[in-house]
Amino acid sequence: MLFPVNRRLTRTVTLAASASSLAVSLVACGGGGASGVGGACSTTVPGITPTEVKAGMVWSDTGPGAATMRSFRAGVDARFHVANEEDGGVYGRKVTYAWRDDQADQQLNLSAVQELLDQEKIFGLIYAPGAGTQSAKLLQERSVPVTGIASDPVWLGMNNMFSWFYLGNGSSTTTGRYVRDQGGTRAAVFAVDAIASSGDFAQQTAASLKANDVRVVKTFYIGEITSWQTVAQQIKANGIDALAGVLMPAGAAELLPELAKIGVTLGDGLKVALMPLGYDNSNLTQLGRALAGVSIFTDIQPFELDTADQRKFKQAMSDFAPEIQPPTQDAAADGWISADLFLRGLEAAGTCPTRESFITGLRAVRDYDGAGMTPDASNDLSTNFRQTSTCYSAIKISKDGSRFEPTSSTATCGDVITPEQMAALNQRS
């Protein structure tokens, strides 16, 4: 799962997919999404021409999180290339996009979206993780279709915004159930005090743990940590046997060796250390030994399952985004699924798509397969936007730190914890 980051406007490019090579006549209206009656499709729909659908994307080309976001964009590029060059587009139209780099700046996120809508005249938006609250409201007001990973709670309940995963305002029992199943009973939760959304995630984690009778003994704020040795000593002194929350790979790689020095090893005194991200082979190369035995939750199926759909993704990344190495990164898969979801919406909108027909058609899909790459193989888009997602894939780093090992071939799921229930749980000591 990716955490919300925010962006700032800098420059525009378009996807390198030329529509000039496409010899297609103006399609006749028919089926869902028709804008006229017995004639040509309307020419007034933003971003729609006889040969092209122009989408938009806001992401961080520079600033915090830029490296991860490049992988996301590459996943989008690869999926659109497959659609355009191998599948002939959608109803004969190639899908391209204009983009803006917001440099992870929340204040100018809205400006980036406004420029894409008003100057670029985009049809819909693919959102890299971290949709800003104000821009999301604008997109809803204008009924602009949006696809992406809903890593910001603002997505919840937005009829025009589509995802296979919703962080939401509440929580789920999934994290706590996993920690409990691993033997954890006394947990430390990590939070980033300088980022409100990370604090929210820490609260979600704490509620999930408490719902499964795992006591939250201590909360550590990353911004206040000056010595991982001191943290290790406090963990041992408090009899903590589980770590969760915003525990990132770099921090875990410093903490776990310090714990081992004082006799607290993962799989023995420490039952589980759960990270919210880190499913990236570069972490194995750089930090693998230090992270041996750590668990990771992700919103995609483990690549180690090597399914036909995953092989298609890897081949496309090799063909169209070879700069991303290795291609098996969760951010790249998130981009691929986000683009696939946009294409599915265009199919549902019919031969003469409008924003309204896209939203209505895609919201009626009850069995979206997530491009064969999501934990849930049948996502009900008619209802999933109303509540926090509860299914993840759980992965462990092997004991020698050299590889990822799925804990199961099926998703790890739980039950929804409402915001009211979360508040009540977090009032417990």
At 421 the pLDDT is: 96
Query: What is the DSSP-derived secondary structure letter of residue 414?
Result: -
pTM: 0.82
At 192 the pLDDT is: 77
For 367-413, write each residue's pLDDT tens digit. Answer: 999 999 999 889 999 999 998 999 999 999 999 999 999 998 889 99
Euclidean distance between CA atoms 325 and 124, whole angstroms: 29
For 132-156, write each residue's pLDDT tens digit. Answer: 778 999 999 999 999 999 988 889 9
* Farthest-apart Cα atoms in the chain, separation: 77
Tokens standing for residue 313: 């993704």
Q: What percent of the chain has pLDDT over 90?
A: 71
Query: Is the Cβ–Cβ distance between 190 and 245 less than 8 Å?
Result: yes
* 242 C-beta neighbours (distance < 10 Å), count: 27
Distance of alpha carbon 279 from the chain centroid:
12
Is it the case that residue 228 has pLDDT exceeding 60? yes
Same fold: 52-165+307-364 with 171-298+389-426: yes
At 337 the pLDDT is: 98
Which residues neighbour 328 within 8 Å (Cβ) at sequence distance 6 or greater? Answer: 281, 303, 314
Amino acid at 276: P
Euclidean distance between CA atoms 156 and 166, whole angstroms: 7
Amino acid at 371: A
Is it the case that residue 6 has pLDDT exceeding 90? no
Query: What is the DSSP-derived secondary structure letter of residue 84?
Result: I
Which residues neighbour 117 within 8 Å (Cβ) at sequence distance 6 or greater? Answer: 46, 56, 138, 142, 144
Cis bond upstream, residue 326 (ω within 30): yes
**Residue in 163, 150, 192, 176 with CA at minimum distance from that of residue 416:** 176
Per the DSSP assignment, residues forming a β-bridge with 125 are: 56, 146
For 329-366, write each residue's pLDDT tens digit. Answer: 888 999 999 999 999 999 999 999 999 999 999 999 99
pLDDT class of 262 with cuts at 50, 70, 90: very high
Q: At what angle do helices 66-81 and 330-349 cross, to 10 degrees?
A: 40
The second-level CATH assignment, the architecture, of 52-165+307-364 is: 3-Layer(aba) Sandwich (3.40)
The end-to-end CA distance of the chain, in Å, is 28
| Domain ranges, ordered by start, for the chain | 52-165+307-364, 171-298+389-426
* 292 C-beta neighbours (distance < 10 Å), count: 19
**Strand ranges (DSSP E) for 21-121?**
52-59, 94-101
Long-range pairs of 412-415 with CB within 8 A, sequence gap ≥ 24: 412/174, 412/177, 412/178, 412/297, 412/375, 413/174, 413/375, 414/172, 414/173, 414/174, 414/175, 414/176, 414/177, 414/208, 414/390, 415/172, 415/173, 415/390
Mention the CATH class of domain 171-298+389-426: alpha beta
